[in-house]
Amino acid sequence: MTDDSSPQIAILLATYNGADGLRAQLDSHAAQTVPPSLILISDDGSTDGTRAVIGAFAEAHPGLRVVLLDGPGTGAAQNFLNLLRHCPDWVDFAAFSDQDDVWLEDKLARGLAALRAAGAGDARPRLFCGRSWECDATLRRRRLSPGLRRPPGFRHALVQNLASGNTMMLDRAGLALLRGASREAGELVVHDWWVYQMVAGAGGEVIFDPRPLLLYRQHGGNLIGANRGLRAKRRRLRMLFAGRFRRWNTINIAALRASAHRLTAENREILQRFADGRDGPLPARLAMLRRTGLYRQGWQAQLSLYLAALLRRI
């Protein structure tokens, strides 16, 4: 780390046709109590006023380094990988950002404090993330996103994500891990799930803040969204029966295998057992869940995991 009193923090912002909410997001970046050293933006071919908003913001903040990249044009996950590949080596901490949220002013400060307290600066990769205020497009009707009932870890990461990418922040070791793995990964389901799997799989530490970090807009343009309520549960069940969860696992397994040399020996074995057992007969699938100890948050989610195994949809 260059200087304990002034760490070099980068915000990694992926954009695509997000002009409507982008200025509020950028303003919340500039208002952080611990200011970023760099806002690195990868725009995936916007055809609205996104680039004009970025240009106006940069002009209004001449003391803040704003760098705009051309994205790969192949979707949000690859746009975030593009940011990882272009994040400079001098960066000590990096925080992912969506294009239409509003950060609480102490978001970076809290992530920095948590990562430092955990030992940021040694060789162990660390990921900080947490809860958010889910709200409507006008930032009203707020409700707190779910917390954790069981601790994070690779056995959880294989079958469920724990937090939205817009809350995530990495230390230097975590950033180095993902910068290297980003050059090995092919297709991803979503970048934040992969980030969680890679950090946990490499033996890193995952820190989850139970307090909200930002205002998370929910609207028709959300790529994932909060995914809560009875309607969302019915949709997830339909997706499970249709085989989408299984397809996601297939994609995740391939991405993890591409970077298997970065995982611990124990987690490589868990990954192999998961990959092999999910394709076996029913007794083998159930035995795989028991032996690997895979788990999801909450009894309903855990029940859906066993349902997926029963139906060969895992």
Structural domains present in the chain = 9-217 (3.90.550.10), 230-310 (no CATH)
Q: What six digits make up the tokens of 47?
A: 């055809």
Distances from the Cα of 258 to the Cαs of 50, 155, 265, in angstroms?
34, 19, 15
The amino acid sitting at 206 is V
Structure tokens at 181: 């793995």
* The pLDDT of residue 163: 86
Q: Give pLDDT, residue 229.
A: 61
Residue 221 has pLDDT above 60, yes or no: no
Average pLDDT over residues 201-218: 97
> One-letter amino acid identity for 108?
L
**Confidence tier at 121 by pLDDT (50, 70, 90):** confident
What are the two backbone dihedrals, phi and then psi, of residue 17, each rounded to the nearest 5 degrees?
A: 50, 50
pLDDT over threshold 70, residue 227: no
Sign of CA dihedral 43, 30, 212, 20: negative
Higher pLDDT, 223 or 162: 162
> Cα(237)–Cα(215) distance, rounded to whole angstroms?
28
The 10 Å Cβ neighbour count of residue 62 is 8
Helix, strand, or coil here: 120?
strand
Q: What is the pLDDT of residue 263?
A: 98
Query: Token digits for 130?
Result: 């947490």
What is the rounded distance in angstroms from the CA atom of residue 31 to the CA atom of residue 28?
A: 5
**First-residue to last-residue Cα distance in the chain:** 42
Mean pLDDT of the region 271-293:
96
**pLDDT over 90, % of the chain:** 88
Q: What would the mean pLDDT of 199-218 be, rounded to a whole number?
A: 97
pLDDT at 222 over 50: no
Closest CA to 159 of 216, 208, 201: 201
Q: How far apart are CA 202 and CA 157, in angstroms?
A: 12
Q: What is the pLDDT of residue 280?
A: 94
Distance CA 59, CA 179 (A): 29
pLDDT band at residue 223 using 50, 70 and 90 as cut-offs: very low
Arithmetic mean of pLDDT, 38-46:
98
Residue 120 confidence (pLDDT) above 80: no
- Using the predicted structure, report yes or no on whether residue 311 has a pLDDT greater than 80: yes
pLDDT at 226 over 60: no
